[in-house]
Amino acid sequence: MTPRLILAAYQCAPEGGSVSQIGWEWYSRLARRVPVTLVTHARNGRALERAGAPVAGSRLVQVDTEWFAGPLYRLASRLFPRSEHAVFMLASLDFFLYDQQAWRQLRRPGQDRPWDLVHVVTPVSVAMPTRLYRLGLPVVIGPLNSGLRTPTGFPEILHREPTWLYSLRNGGVWVDRLTRSSRRAAVVLAATQATRQALPARVRPQAVSMLENGVDLERFQATPWPEAPSADFPLRVLFVGRLIACKGVSMLLKAIARVRPGVPVELRIVGAGPMQAEWERQTADLGLGQVVSFLGAQPLTRVAEETRWCHVLCLPSVRESGGSVLIEAMAAARPVVAVAYGGPAEVVDDAVGRALAPTDTESVTAALADTLRDIVRHPEAWRQRGQQGRQRAAEEYDWERKIDRALGVYEQVLARRPGSPLCPPPAEE
């Protein structure tokens, strides 16, 4: 049976942020396989149109709550000018209105309703429950990636974030429990152990493990490692991400300053955000102006180019739910270094790079410096880690394989008797 699918993606745009890109990947790839009706926010319309949506054979339903979302976003930006997380969390309150409006549009009298299943792919948070189960169709939710607690060992970094706002997400969790959104779902796809624990206890046994991020293996192709770092060829380090406090770039800058007297090194920073000016000042204060480059926000094509340039990608984030840049670097056969907390702890190990213990700022800085020195001392071992990363990315994180798994989930959901348990496909290792 070929399922006729409602794909609900509040965030869905190939030119948007990481979650919007996730929505686009699900839509653009599923629409080539099965009949899809994409339900998304109207603000994504122009970007979708530029990308060729609606894809042949699919339909597009746009839900417009911009009259509420726009003023809410502007208010959040004024209240929290230095915290993108806070702005995002406050602006995300629009989702509850959007979700209600989406349900109303889909159930209008006379609406052609040739659907078998609903899959809600974004937002990727337990705190954003959906009411689309009221359409009377089986619902798949996720992959979700949330439930991450704030780490305690990095107060110097996280004091710049209004971390008390993270507790507001619990409000969305309580809404989920009151509406029983996740409990009414046929399947909940959970990205991490933290996400699984954030689900209601009754839902956890039926949760299926699936990372929310994937990788386009054609865009991020494996290429030869650069010439081994030496006295004549600098170690090339890459960071990709939003320039916000929790990303931990300050620790990476300090680590490079520590190794630089004996190790020629270059660092390229791809991304933009409110911490850029401060980290540029820190770069100057540490005497790193000649070896650190701030490249600003770049499209994925440029990110792929920079990934091919580097020896290693470092993501010293101390509060990272996902970590798509790690998977992309692995696909390009580059070793990865990250703090083993949240999403990176599910992706990075000694086989593909190095996972740093999430202890405190000084310990992570020292571990970063030791790791950079180790790459110079043992280049072949690190080249092999990159090769192993490519293999893992191809086997576990390729978007096409993820779609294959999703279609398997749909098939089982539609074939099973009401009330019977789902036998999930093999979980991602």
Q: How do residues 162-180 score in pLDDT, each as one tens digit?
A: 555 555 555 555 666 666 6
pLDDT at residue 174, rounded to an integer: 61
120 Rama sector, left if φ>0, alpha if ψ -120 to 50, beta otherwise: beta
Q: What is the pLDDT of residue 425?
A: 46
Tell me which residue of 373, 246, 268 sits closest to 314, measured CA to CA: 268
pTM over 0.85: yes
228: nearest Cα among 339, 8, 383, 340: 383
Written as one string, the DSSP assignment of 239-262 is EES---GGG-HHHHHHHHHHHTTT
Predicted confidence at residue 168, as pLDDT, reads: 54
Judge whether 5-214+398-415 and 235-396 match in fold.
yes
Give the whole-angstrom CA distance, residue 402 versus residue 429: 13
- Is residue 281 within 8 A of residue 306, CB to CB? The reply is no
Cα-based distances in Å from 2 to 54, 140, 186, 223, 410: 19, 16, 18, 38, 9
pLDDT digits (tens, 9 = 90+) for 165-221: 555 555 555 666 666 677 788 899 988 888 888 788 888 887 898 988 899 999 999
Please report, in tens digits, the pLDDT of each residue of the chain (429 residues total): 688 999 999 999 987 778 899 999 999 999 999 999 999 999 999 999 999 899 888 999 999 999 988 898 888 888 877 666 677 777 788 899 999 999 999 987 655 668 999 999 998 887 788 889 989 899 999 898 877 777 888 888 777 665 555 555 555 556 666 666 777 888 999 888 888 887 888 888 878 989 888 999 999 999 999 999 988 899 999 999 999 888 999 999 999 999 998 889 999 999 998 899 999 999 999 999 999 999 999 988 999 999 999 999 999 999 888 889 999 999 999 999 999 998 899 899 999 999 999 999 999 999 999 999 999 999 999 999 999 999 999 999 999 999 999 999 999 999 875 544 454 444 443
Name which of 313, 206, 215, 207 is nearest 270 in CA terms.
Answer: 313
Q: What is the pLDDT of residue 148?
A: 75
Q: Please give the Cα distance from 58 to 6 (Å, whole number).
A: 10
Whether the link from the prior residue into 35 is cis, omega within 30° of 0, is no
Phi, psi of 335 (to 5 degrees): -65, 155
Give the Cα-Cα-Cα angle 61, 206, 407 (nearest 5 degrees).
Answer: 45
* Strand partners for 236: 266
Asked if residues 132 and 9 have their Cβ atoms less than 8 Å apart, the reply is no
Nearest to 352 by CA among 324, 325, 389: 389
pLDDT number for residue 72: 85
User: Which pLDDT score is estimated for 179?
Assistant: 63
Predicted local confidence at residue 423, as pLDDT: 47
Could you give the CA distance from residue 397 to residue 395 in angstroms, rounded to a whole number? Answer: 6
What pLDDT sits at residue 421? 47
From the options 3.40.50.1100, 3.40.50.2000, 3.40.50.720, 2.160.10.10, give the CATH code of 235-396.
3.40.50.2000
Domain assignments of the chain as residue spans, ordered by start:
5-214+398-415, 235-396
Q: State the fold for domain 5-214+398-415.
A: Rossmann fold (3.40.50)
